[in-house]
Amino acid sequence: MSEHVEQTFVALKPDTVKRGITGKIITIFEEAGFKICGMKMVWADSDILQQHYEEHVDKDFYEGLEEFMSSGPIIAMVLEGVNAVENGRKLVGSTDPKDADPSTIRGRFAHMSFDHADSSDTLHKNVIHASAELDEAEREIEIWFNDNEIHSFEHAHESQVR
């Protein structure tokens, strides 16, 4: 793998699965040239969520976050591509959907702002999680996937997008 080709972790949250928009979002990544090296549907339990959100476990909002993230299945993915972490985050858009460019995943499919969630005493739902840094991606991939669930293969169009 080239030094610029990397893997990142993406999770389509329970609201995405329940809305039936997972295929549309997966297509966005594939059309951008990302390769899906691992993908599975997971009903996350407390252990995996505490590992994933370890920096938030002691915060006031964590209980609601865990309740939401365990309220339905999640599509967990390992995506590979050139500068996958950075380019994946660009496709996903701003964490707060009201600030997300309309061409991004959150800009297209999420609408609840932090302000609205806070004023209506509800959890902020923003459709998708994508690793923010390479070391975070590596850690998250290890949490959600075993080595035998991540596959290496050549895409038919790899010579065109790399």
- Catalytic sites, residue numbers: 129
Task: Give the contacts of 58 (CB within 8 A, at least 6 positions apart).
Answer: none
Residue 118's alpha-carbon distances to 28, 40, 96, 113, 124, in angstroms, are 30, 32, 12, 9, 8
Q: For the residues of 15-26, what is the DSSP string, one character each?
A: HHHHHT-HHHHH
Instruction: Note the Cα 159 to chain centre separation in Å.
Output: 26
Q: Are 34 and 155 spatial neighbours (Cβ–Cβ below 8 Å)?
A: no
Q: How do 35-42 and 74-82 pair as beta strands? A: antiparallel
**Cα Dmax for the chain:** 49
